[in-house]
Amino acid sequence: MLFNDYDPLKKKKLMILDPKGVIVTPKLEPNIAKEELLHMYQIMTLGRTADIKAVQYQRQGRMLTYAPNRGQEAAQVGAMAALEEQDWLVPAFRELNAMLYKGVTLEQIYLYWYGNEWGNHFNEGVKVLPVDVIIGSQINHAAGIAYASKILKKNEVALATIGDGGTSHGEFYEGMNFAATYDAPLVVVIQNNQYAISTPRSKATRAATLAQKAVAFGIPGIQVDGNDVLAMYVATKAAVDHARSGKGPVLIEAVTYRLGPHTTSDDPTMYRSDDEVAEWELKDPLIRFKKYLIDKGYWSEEEDQKLEEENLKFVGDTFKQVEASGPAKLEDIFEYTYEKMTPNLIEQLEEYKKYLEQGGK
């Protein structure tokens, strides 16, 4: 069993595709169809382009504060590719690639960071919860969805994501303990990108690994090279199958790195060295996955150049549509805080409307 073979207490980390794009664990190489592999790569490259451009738009004053996720593409796409259509993604706030893969449009993602409430209004049938900025609370949300799925026999698995720093928050433990106690079909992926804003992983916890926190809940845990999209797929597929079979939750630690700032309000040069970043850039998930696809005869440098041009055009055209939507309406703050407005919100909204009628702006 995968979780026994890669016991985090024995300091074992799952890697299938090394930083040079070479298969180092042949027996675990997943049998993924060519079309799906190329789709995974397409989403990862689109996510990278959209991420870089989002930072540029924010620096130009055309977008609000944004949370970059450059370098974390494999941790997200590998996990999403292992889900089934009926399964849920319960994200935090750094899951651009995961949301794209699960069906959220780039326009909707950009609208959210543009400050428009409709950025959280996804298309019918897209099993993704809105962005959750409150650290750790998404674990409780996912545990609730998973438990409901079990009670209603819906055969749905909920997958939640959280950062390394988020595992020090109480709601992480509460949600995990609830799901474990009731054998809820929950998978939690810790995106260990080495920093909780400026707090390094080494100062966030004394645990040797984050995956071994699963031991306290009595559930399986596994540490994975989060820059290896194949390893992430294999680990998540095993976790999803385990959870769906009624055996309860699984905790996955994806060891990765945030190549950019925590948000566009952050200056990472204040707490980490350029040499450290350069070392992790050699482990770039896109570089190794592209090499793997080329070696298999599925891809070429010429196709890669064409895809990059298509991604740049698509991202640019999408943001033009977002800007054309104009400023968000202040009324949205009242109307979309709760499913039904509370009496206080109704009263405040009426006061605001009167203010506008009297010539206010």
Contact 223, 8 (CB under 8 A): yes
Cα–Cα distance measured from residue 181 to residue 55, given in angstroms and rounded to the nearest whole number: 41
Query: ∠ CA 99-210-20 to the nearest 5 degrees?
Result: 65
Between CA 17 and CA 30 the distance in angstroms is: 11
> Residue 101: how many CA atoms within 13 Å on its side-chain side?
32
Q: Which amino acid is at 127?
A: K
Q: Could you give the count of Cα atoms lying within 13 Å of 22 in the half-sphere of its Cβ?
A: 2
Scan for tokens 């979780």, then name that residue.
3
| 186-192: strand order across its sheet | 13-14, 221-225, 250-255, 186-192, 158-163, 88-90
What is the separation of C-alpha 215 from the centre of its chain, rounded to a whole number of angstroms?
A: 24
Nearest to 164 by CA among 202, 113, 115, 122: 202
Radius of gyration in angstroms for the set of CA atoms belonging to the chain, rounded to a whole number: 21
Active-site residue list: 258, 262, 271
Cβ atoms within 10 A of the Cβ of 231, count? 29
Sign of CA dihedral 241, 244, 247, 253: positive
What DSSP designation does 15 have? Answer: -
Report the candidate in 256, 249, 206, 250 with the shortest Cα–Cα distance to residue 226: 256
Residue that the structure tokens 């570089």 belong to: 287
